[in-house]
């Protein structure tokens, strides 16, 4: 590795810096460089001794003065050195230019094709590129406007490109955006918590256009884009306190003198710190339809009464008061009186739960029609009761029509019998018996199940039986359509009582009454590793439990290891709908 230049080399390197600065002078190549760099501007070109000789006042053979000889020798040495420096600079500049051109030429070729596109098409592409950058949308718009004169003209004519306002932007940047986004375009607001700049300029500039706010995101943005926050965090105080404090400051700042955001349609609150306390939204939002929250639950508020879609992400920790957090979520759901679609992502749900389940709000959630539950990396050997089961039993969705579960089961090592018992128990928690009463209108159930084996801390290798996840269909008796997707595991569609009777025959005391169900269609989609033996077991168990004859059909879609003839032999042509995407 080359060492740094010594101090006496700094003067030489300054020649390079001067050349680079000269190259950045606007329109430098249009200037008369031959005149600018003419010999009359060189100190050696204006040397009196040289001029005296060239003028003929002194013959070249008459130079006998020692001083003149020394001066001429110095000038020759300087010119030799300059020639050498210029040659090295020229060689390196030529080499660098070649490397740049190898990259630049294909870009020019591509841009030449882009140049043939109509302005309207380019404008659409610009809008897509700006949207994809999120809170950096303003920067992307500015970059596009600097590519060429044509790009700049298109960018400046499209007001929608300049509508992303971020609280971490400088006042100069904000004023530039304000000058370009026109008088009609919807505005997209990003409020960063913790703040990197005092928010008051942002509040002052944006408060003039509250009526045009269309979307707003509050919270943490991706790292690497902003400098370190200016908010000091006392090591003796929890990390969450300053975050919650700043949230309240900004809410109060925007709430001062403001009672309504009439055009706001989407609100996204991203706070990736555990335990950040809630605060109420200080304004009404009569047009708000979409609410997204990550690790943060706003207090029930009239500002949220128009929300129709709610996406919630929670990372549960043992340091959480877990039951309290889930109770807050239930209370918030009950306050969203217009909500129809609810999506919930829960992480770390294998932490143990108290025996007492959360309290069900008396009003329930009568407007919800679709509920999607996602459980990434669920450790099947977690607590005795998962948080999920307690939460689901407390739900009251009397008009729910569509329930979807996506779960990634993680096995960190254990014997087969223990694993089977845990899967049976967890299946009963995902589809509790109470659903028959709490979800009386449920018609469609979707189960997406994958299985991952982690060898961290696991015992030595052992022979394992296939991973079987039971779906107790009698716990959701009103379901008519069941959709199933699996990876690295198989499912059995069972009657819960019949399964218990088989597994623990000695414990049965009274005859079991099977619950009537309304299942008519099963669709297996993209079950990557399903083979004919798995399909046979599903058929056998449903036949045994008395559910097969009532089915109208089974669809097998994009299950790459299942051939049509094999599936037909098991299911018969009458019940089979088979398709395979090429």
Tell me the three-class secondary structure of 384-427, residue by residue: CCCHHHHHHHHCCCCCCCEEEEEEEEEECCCCHHHHHHHHHHHH
Q: What is the pLDDT of residues 45-64, one digit of tens each?
A: 777 777 677 666 555 556 55
Residue 230 φ then ψ, to 5°: -85, -10
Give the residue ranges of the chain where pLDDT is below 50.
Answer: 1-7, 223-242, 319, 457-463, 509
Query: What is the secondary structure of 268-300 as a DSSP string?
Result: EEE--STTPPP---SSB-TT--EEEEES--PPP
Two tokens, residue 93: 């500049």
Cβ atoms of 203 and 225 closer than 8 Å: no
Q: Which residues contact 274 (CB under 8 A, 6 or more apart)?
A: 240, 295, 315, 317, 319, 320
pLDDT value of residue 283 = 78
pLDDT value of residue 250 = 67
Residue 485 φ then ψ, to 5°: -130, 130
pLDDT value of residue 409 = 87
Domain assignments of the chain as residue spans, ordered by start: 76-111, 194-225+241-579
The rounded distance, in Å, linking the Cα atoms of 171 and 268 is 24
Query: Tokens 């008396």 identify what position?
Result: 362
> What whole-number percentage of the chain has pLDDT above 90?
27
pLDDT value of residue 237 = 33
Question: How many residues appear in the chain?
Answer: 582
Residue 347 φ then ψ, to 5°: -110, 155
The rounded distance, in Å, linking the Cα atoms of 167 and 488 is 46
**pTM for the model:** 0.74
Q: What is the pLDDT of residues 400-416, one digit of tens each?
A: 999 999 999 887 666 67
């Amino acid at each position: 590795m080359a060492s740094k230049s010594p101090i006496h080399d700094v003067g030489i390197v300054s020649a390079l810096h001067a050349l680079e600065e000269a190259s950045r002078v606007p329109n430098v190549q249009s200037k008369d460089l031959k005149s600018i760099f003419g010999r009359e501007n060189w100190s050696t070109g204006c040397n009196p001794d040289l001029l005296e000789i060239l003028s003929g006042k002194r013959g070249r053979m008459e130079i006998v003065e020692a001083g003149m000889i020394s001066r001429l020798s110095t000038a020759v040495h300087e010119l030799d050195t300059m020639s050498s420096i210029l040659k090295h600079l020229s060689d390196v500049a030529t080499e660098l230019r070649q490397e740049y051109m190898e990259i630049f030429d294909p870009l020019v070729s591509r841009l030449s094709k882009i140049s043939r596109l109509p302005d309207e098409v380019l404008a659409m592409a610009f809008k897509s590129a700006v949207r994809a950058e999120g809170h950096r949308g303003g920067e992307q718009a500015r970059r596009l406007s600097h590519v060429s004169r044509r790009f700049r003209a298109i960018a400046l004519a499209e007001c929608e490109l300049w509508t992303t306002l971020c609280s971490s932007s400088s006042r100069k940047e904000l004023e530039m955006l304000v000058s370009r986004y026109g008088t009609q375009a919807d505005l997209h607001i990003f409020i960063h918590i913790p703040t990197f700049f005092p928010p008051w300029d942002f509040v002052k500039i944006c408060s003039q256009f509250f009526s045009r706010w269309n979307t707003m995101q509050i919270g943490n943005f991706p790292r690497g884009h902003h400098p370190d926050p200016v908010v000091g965090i006392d090591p003796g105080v929890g990390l969450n306190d300053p975050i919650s404090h700043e949230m309240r400051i900004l809410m109060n700042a925007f709430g001062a003198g403001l009672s309504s955001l009439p055009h706001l349609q989407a609100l996204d609150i991203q706070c990736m710190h555990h335990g950040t306390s809630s605060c109420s939204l200080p304004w009404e939002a009569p047009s708000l339809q979409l609410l997204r929250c990550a690790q943060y639950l706003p207090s029930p508020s009239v500002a949220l009464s128009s929300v129709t879609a709610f996406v919630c992400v929670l990372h549960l920790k043992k340091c959480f008061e877990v039951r309290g957090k889930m109770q807050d979520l239930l209370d918030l759901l009950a306050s969203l009186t217009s909500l129809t679609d609810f999506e919930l992502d829960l992480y770390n749900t294998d932490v143990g739960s108290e025996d007492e389940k959360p309290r069900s709000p008396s009003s329930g959630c009568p407007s919800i029609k679709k509920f999607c539950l996602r459980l990434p990396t669920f450790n099947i050997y977690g607590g005795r009761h998962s948080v999920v089961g307690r939460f689901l039993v407390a739900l009251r969705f009397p008009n729910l029509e569509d329930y979807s579960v996506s779960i990634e089961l993680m096995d960190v090592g254990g014997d087969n019998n223990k694993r089977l018992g845990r899967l049976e128990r967890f299946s009963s928690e995902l589809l509790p018996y109470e659903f028959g009463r709490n979800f009386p209108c449920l018609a469609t159930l979707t189960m997406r199940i994958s299985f991952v084996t982690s060898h961290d801390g696991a015992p030595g290798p052992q022979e394992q039986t296939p991973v079987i996840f039971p779906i107790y269909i009698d716990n959701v008796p009103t379901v008519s359509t069941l959709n199933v997707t699996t990876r690295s595991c198989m499912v059995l569609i069972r009657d819960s009582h019949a399964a218990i009777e088989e597994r623990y025959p000695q414990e049965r005391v009274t005859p079991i009454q099977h619950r009537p169900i309304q299942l008519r269609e099963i669709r297996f989609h993209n079950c990557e590793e399903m083979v004919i033996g798995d399909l046979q077991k599903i058929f056998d168990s449903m036949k045994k439990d008395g559910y097969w004859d009532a089915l109208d059909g089974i669809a097998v879609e994009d299950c790459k290891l299942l051939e049509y003839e094999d599936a037909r032999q098991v299911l018969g042509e009458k019940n089979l709908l088979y398709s395979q995407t090429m």
